[in-house]
Chains A and B, each alone.
Chain A
Amino acid sequence: MKAKVYVTIKQNVLDPQGSAVQGALHSMGFDEVGKVRIGKFLELNLSTSDRTEAEARLTAMCEKLLANTVIEDYRFELEG
């Protein structure tokens, strides 16, 4: 089973990378761009076919290591 994990800076926390990219897009004339948030994308191959089990394990992985929940949010998708 494949898991896709997305980690992003929380909405109320300044994302300097996102702000820099937003500024660059504006200076290039893409004025329609509002807020930009940059995050991390992780692809994990899991050796399990039990969806419930995989979800519980992924939540633990995200809470413990993959995201710093003080400043980051996470979500994941399971495929297969």
Chain B
Amino acid sequence: MKFAVLVFPGSNCDIDCYKAVEDTIGQSVDYVWHTATDLSAYDAILVPGGFSYGDYLRCGAIARFAPVMNEVVKAAEQGKFILGICNGFQILTEAGLLPGALRRNSGMKFICAQTQLEVVNHTSAFTSEYNAGEIIDIPIAHGEGNYYCDEETLAQLKTNNQIVFRYAGDTNPNGSIENIAGICNERGNVVGMMPHPERAVDEILGSADGKRMFTSILNAWREQHGAAVNG
């Protein structure tokens, strides 16, 4: 399985994403520059966190028009796995690959902290290794992670089981509507989330709970491709 980690001017979680793939599932992974015009070689695309284009104008607004994003849209249509983390989530909403938008945290502060997430959808390609309702420990680091969508969109998200993660209990750190921390598209192959699973792949980092997102993706890909168990 081949992973691409997109790199925009200002990406700062690209190395974490690369290492997470390398260290947790040992699959092929490349950095792909924002000017790239071909992603056909890749099975999964990681859109990392950071501050693409300095977050000028709005988070993700400028990155959404980088040449590589046309290829990300194509890859999404082809059913490839796309995971946007933090700024990557903001870029995917700006690109219209996921509904809603991310606003300034309700408390106005940038928050860098461990958070408890509830796995709401454990049947997606990204979360099959988790149990339904499981509480996992994944860090957040964002100033604009306050998820918003209108009532109609929220109803659709619920009906289609598109809410992947919620902040557990009363821990909502940013004012997100219905404690939403991560969502997927209707087809389930595009996920966006504010917390950072790539920063929770080893106990030495404080938690290894993010690891199973990567093993879930690999397992889903193997099921789709009938690939050998070892590889």
Q: Which residues of A contact B (CB under 8 A)?
A: 9, 13-14, 16-17, 20, 40, 65-66, 68, 70-71
Q: Which residues of B contact A (CB under 8 A)?
A: 57-58, 61-62, 65, 93-94, 100-101, 103-108, 146, 148-150, 175
On chain B, the residues within 8 Å of A16 by CB distance are 103-108, 146, 175
Chain B residue at minimal CB-CB distance from A69: B101
A68 touches B61 (CB 8 A): yes
> Could you jot down 21 A-B contacts, CB within 8 Å?
A9-B103, A13-B148, A14-B103, A14-B106, A14-B148, A14-B175, A16-B103, A16-B105, A16-B106, A16-B108, A16-B175, A17-B108, A20-B108, A65-B57, A65-B61, A68-B61, A68-B101, A70-B150, A71-B101, A71-B103, A71-B148
Additional 7 contacts, C-beta under 8 A, given A16-B107, A40-B57, A70-B149: A14-B146, A16-B146, A16-B175, A68-B58, A70-B100, A70-B101, A71-B148
Least Cβ–Cβ distance between B219 and chain A, in angstroms: 33
Q: How far is the CA of A13 from the CA of B148 in the complex (A)?
A: 8
Number of A-B contacts (CB under 8 A): 38
Most buried by B among A13, A16, A17: A16
